[in-house]
Structure 1
Amino acid sequence: MKLVCVDCNKEVSADLFDYQCTCGGLFDIVHDTAQLDAEFLKRVFHDRLSERMTPYASGVWRYKELIFPELADEYITTKYEGNTGLYASEQIQSYTGSNRKVLLKAQSENPSGSFKDNGMTVAVSHGRSLGYQRFTCTSTGNTSSSLAMYASLANQESYVFVPNKNISLNKVLQTLAYGANVISFDGTYDDGIRFYEQHSKELGLYICNSINPFRIEGQKSIVYEIAQYLNWNLPDWVVIPGGALSNVTALGKGLQDLKKLGFIDKLPRVALVQAEGASPFHRMVAEGRTELVPEPTPYTRASALNIGNPPSWKKALRTLEETNGVTCSVTDQEILDAKAWVDKSGIGCEPASAATVAGLRKLIAQQVIDKDETAVCILTGNMLKDTDALHEYHLGESSTTSYKNAIRPAELTLDSIQSIL
Structure 2
Amino acid sequence: MKLICIDCGQGMSSNNLNHHCTCGGLLDIVQDFHNYDADFLKHLFNERLSERMTPYASGVWRYKELIFPELPEDCIITKYEGNTGLYSSELIRKYTGLSQVSLKAQSENPSGSFKDNGMTVAVSHGKSLGFKNFTCTSTGNTSSSLAMYASIAHANSYVFVPNKDISINKVLQTIAYGAHVFSISGTYDDGIQFLEENASDLGLYVCNSINPFRIEGQKSIIYEIAHYLNWNLPEWIVVPGGALSNATALGKGLQDLFSLGFIDKVPRVAIVQAEGASPFHKMIAQNKSELIPEPRPYTRASALNIGNPPSWKKAMLSLRQTNGTTISVTDDEILDAKAIIDKSGIGCEPASAATVAGLRKLVSQQVIDKEESALCILTGNILKDTDALNEYHFGESNHSTFKNEWQPTSLTYDTIKKYIV
Question: Which aligned pairs between 1:328-347 and structure 2 lie closer than 5 A?
Answer: 328-347=327-346
* Equivalent in the alignment of 1:414: 413
Question: Which aligned pairs between 1:297-308 and structure 2 lie closer than 5 A?
Answer: 297-308=296-307
Query: What amino acid is the match of 1:219?
Result: Q
Question: Which aligned pairs between 1:99-248 and structure 2 lie closer than 5 A?
Answer: 100-248=99-247
**Whole-angstrom CA distance in 2 between matches of 1:281 and 1:167:** 21
Answer yes or no: is the 8 Å Cα contact 1:108–1:115 preserved in 2: yes
Q: CA deviation at 1:102?
A: 0.6
**Whole-angstrom CA distance in 1 between matches of 2:84 and 2:32:** 28
* Equivalent in the alignment of 2:366: 367
Query: What amino acid is the match of 1:61?
Result: W
How big is each residue's C-alpha offset from its partner over 1:132-175, in whole Å with a ceiling of 9 and x where there is no partner? 10000000000000000000011100000001000000000000
Answer yes or no: is the 8 Å Cα contact 1:337–1:402 preserved in 2: yes
**Whole-angstrom CA distance in 2 between matches of 1:369 and 1:349:** 23
**Whole-angstrom CA distance in 1 between matches of 2:34 and 2:399:** 56
Q: How many aligned residue pairs are there? A: 420
Query: What amino acid is the match of 2:10?
Result: K
How big is each residue's C-alpha offset from its partner over 1:307-326, in whole Å with a ceiling of 9 and x where there is no partner? 00000000000000000000
Using the TM superposition, name which of 390-399 and 339-348 deviates more: 390-399
Using the TM superposition, name which of 340-349 and 404-413 deviates more: 404-413
Q: CA deviation at 1:14?
A: 1.0
Query: What amino acid is the match of 1:235?
Result: P
Question: Which aligned pairs between 1:30-49 and structure 2 lie closer than 5 A?
Answer: 30-49=30-49
* Equivalent in the alignment of 1:73: 73
Query: What amino acid is the match of 1:214?
Result: F
**Whole-angstrom CA distance in 1 between matches of 2:408 and 2:415:** 10
Query: What amino acid is the match of 1:193?
Result: I
* Equivalent in the alignment of 2:278: 279
Using the TM superposition, name which of 26-35 and 168-177 deviates more: 26-35
Q: CA deviation at 1:15?
A: 3.0
**Whole-angstrom CA distance in 1 between matches of 2:15 and 2:290:** 31
Answer yes or no: is the 8 Å Cα contact 1:7–1:25 preserved in 2: yes
How big is each residue's C-alpha offset from its partner over 1:199-227, in whole Å with a ceiling of 9 and x where there is no partner? 00110000000000000000000000000
Q: Does 1:319 align with 2:318?
A: yes
TM-score by length of structure 2 reads 0.99
**Whole-angstrom CA distance in 2 between matches of 1:60 and 1:400:** 39
Q: CA deviation at 1:185?
A: 0.7
Query: What amino acid is the match of 1:418?
Result: K
How big is each residue's C-alpha offset from its partner over 1:303-345, in whole Å with a ceiling of 9 and x where there is no partner? 0000000000000000000000000000000000000000000
Q: CA deviation at 1:31?
A: 1.1
* Equivalent in the alignment of 1:64: 64
**Whole-angstrom CA distance in 1 between matches of 2:14 and 2:142:** 24
Q: Does 1:390 align with 2:375?
A: no
TM-score by length of structure 1 reads 0.99
**Whole-angstrom CA distance in 2 between matches of 1:352 and 1:117:** 16
Runs of 4+ in 1 over 4 A off after TM superposition: none
Answer yes or no: is the 8 Å Cα contact 1:140–1:189 preserved in 2: yes
* Equivalent in the alignment of 1:262: 261
Q: CA deviation at 1:18?
A: 2.4
Q: What is the SS of the residue equivalent to 2:418?
A: helix
Q: Quick one: percent identity of the two aligned structures?
A: 73
* Equivalent in the alignment of 1:27: 27
Q: CA deviation at 1:411?
A: 1.1
**Whole-angstrom CA distance in 1 between matches of 2:75 and 2:163:** 34
Q: CA deviation at 1:73?
A: 0.8
**Whole-angstrom CA distance in 1 between matches of 2:261 and 2:174:** 40
Query: What amino acid is the match of 1:342?
Result: I
Answer yes or no: is the 8 Å Cα contact 1:91–1:341 preserved in 2: yes
Query: What amino acid is the match of 2:251?
Result: G
* Equivalent in the alignment of 1:92: 92
Q: CA deviation at 1:414?
A: 1.2
Q: Does 1:82 align with 2:82?
A: yes
**Whole-angstrom CA distance in 2 between matches of 1:147 and 1:45:** 27
**Whole-angstrom CA distance in 2 between matches of 1:146 and 1:378:** 18
**Whole-angstrom CA distance in 2 between matches of 1:361 and 1:144:** 31
Q: What is the SS of the residue equivalent to 1:50?
A: coil
Q: CA deviation at 1:16?
A: 3.2
The alignment yields a C-alpha RMSD, in angstroms, of: 0.6
Answer yes or no: is the 8 Å Cα contact 1:89–1:101 preserved in 2: no
Q: CA deviation at 1:35?
A: 1.2
**Whole-angstrom CA distance in 1 between matches of 2:300 and 2:170:** 14
Query: What amino acid is the match of 2:93?
Result: Q
Q: CA deviation at 1:279?
A: 0.0
**Whole-angstrom CA distance in 2 between matches of 1:268 and 1:70:** 29
**Whole-angstrom CA distance in 2 between matches of 1:74 and 1:27:** 26
Answer yes or no: is the 8 Å Cα contact 1:241–1:273 preserved in 2: yes
Which runs of 5 or more residues in structure 1 are unaligned?
Answer: none
Q: CA deviation at 1:17?
A: 3.8
Q: Does 1:9 align with 2:9?
A: yes
**Whole-angstrom CA distance in 1 between matches of 2:328 and 2:32:** 37
Answer yes or no: is the 8 Å Cα contact 1:152–1:179 preserved in 2: yes
Q: CA deviation at 1:268?
A: 0.2
Q: What is the SS of the residue equivalent to 1:357?
A: helix
Q: CA deviation at 1:399?
A: 1.4
Which runs of 5 or more residues in structure 2 are unaligned?
Answer: none
